Structure 1
Amino acid sequence: MARPDKAAAVAELKDKFSSSSAVVLTEYRGLTVKALKDLRRSLGENATYAVSKNTLTTIAAREAGVEGLDEHLVGPTAITFVDGDPVVVAKGLRDFARTNPLLVIKGGVLDGKFLNSDEVRTLADLESREVLLAKVAGGMQGVLQQAVSLVAAPLSQVARLAAALEQAAQEDPSIIGGAGTPAAVDQEPSTDDTTDAAPAAEADIAAAPAADTETATAVPDTNPVAADAAEEN
């Protein structure tokens, strides 16, 4: 490959490394052209399956700041540049490898971290982004329904209570407006009443001894011994 072509190939690979959400390295030794076409078709728009020279891939990965791939870029290696959900692509590669054992998963890179072959398979066992979002949406919908029920229940009770109160008020307006004359409130005697009563009470007390004296004077002496002595004299 001429030098300008190599530079262009490195620049293209570097751009794919930088723009991809994940990268998976596979060995395709022994796979037919038809099998590789089927693999590309199965990945669809989620990934790009490319075959390139290991030396060019190594240079492009370094320029893109991707580390950990050098020791795995040995032998016939194809690169899967993930454009969509990495979990979906990992599942596609794993499932294809089950029916085509010649496809060997070497490893990959996700969020700048290198993944070995076992970690890529573990990634394939996870649920896809769509499934997780559907579960989250379903959970949120359930929580929202519970929240609506909790809020709506007290409001409906208040509405029923208000309707009952309105009906009762129509039948008996006194429930709201009040009825009857309020009871008189006992009041404490005023200072003037207390002052006027005191002299009257003192006058009654002062008059009592005089009345007793007059009563005592008016009563005749009925002692018989005294009467007889008076007659003899």
Structure 2
Amino acid sequence: MDRSQKSDAVAQLNAALKEVGVVVVTRNSGLTVAQSTALRGQMREAGASYKVAKNSLAKLALKDTAYEGLEEHLTGPTALAYSEDPVAAAKAAVEFAKTNDKLEIVGGSMGGQMLDEAGIRALASLPSLDELRAKLVGLVNAPATKIAQVVNAPAAKLARVFGAYAAKDAA
């Protein structure tokens, strides 16, 4: 990789890191190509990205972002998982680490808040942004449904009473 390619890679990673809500640093010692491909696919499905970058380039890319404090975690064979959804990258990394002991969660950051491994695991246990939105819509929709049921109930009762009188008269 020549100098211009390195500066392009740093600029792309820096631009991506300025747009995300969470960054998870992982140590991936001994992952095979197939396992790495599976991890990338799992990240993509969750709406996250997974980038293996040279530590010196990653440190340069972290400058002028909310994630500058992550530089201390960038030692050894590391990679960055990041997503706009504050839970997606953490959830995908933790799920993959459960089934593969070669991936280690080192730490991360959500916005400017530094998180250790336990913090990332706690973040991964939270519901995703889409799940929270669905719950909120359900909570907002429930009172309207109940009001419609209460309003329709008297009419339904009247219809049943009239139906019973009609059946009684017919018999």
3-state SS in 2 of match to 1:108? strand
* Distance across 2 between alignment mates of 1:129 and 1:15: 22
- 1:34: Cα distance to partner? 0.8
Equivalent residue number for residue 118 of structure 1: 118
CA RMSD, Structure 1 to Structure 2 (Å): 2.2
Aligned pairs for 1:99-138 (under 5 A) are 99-138=99-138
Aligned pairs for 1:166-185 (under 5 A) are none
The one-letter code sitting in structure 1 at the alignment partner of 2:83 is V
* Distance across 1 between alignment mates of 2:129 and 2:83: 14
Can you list the C-alpha shifts for 1:80-99, whole angstroms capped at 9, x where unaligned?
1214x332332221111111
3-state SS in 1 of match to 2:101? coil
- 1:59: Cα distance to partner? 1.2
TM-score, normalised with respect to structure 1: 0.60
Equivalent residue number for residue 3 of structure 2: 3
**Structure 1 consecutive aligned stretches of length 4 or more whose deviation exceeds 4 Å:** 147-150
| Structure whose alpha-carbon radius of gyration is higher | 1
Kept after mapping to 1: 8 A contact 2:73/2:106: yes
* Distance across 2 between alignment mates of 1:119 and 1:127: 15
Equivalent residue number for residue 24 of structure 1: 24
Q: Which runs of 5+ in 1 are unaligned?
A: 158-233
Equivalent residue number for residue 13 of structure 1: 13
* Distance across 1 between alignment mates of 2:100 and 2:55: 23
Q: Which runs of 5+ in 2 are unaligned?
A: 156-171
Equivalent residue number for residue 195 of structure 1: none
- 1:52: Cα distance to partner? 0.8
* Structure with the higher strand share, 1 or 2: 2
Number of aligned pairs?
154
- 1:140: Cα distance to partner? 1.6
TM-score, normalised with respect to structure 2: 0.79
- 1:66–1:131: structure 2 CA closer, same or farther, 3 Å change rule? closer
Equivalent residue number for residue 162 of structure 2: none
3-state SS in 1 of match to 2:87? helix
Equivalent residue number for residue 56 of structure 2: 55
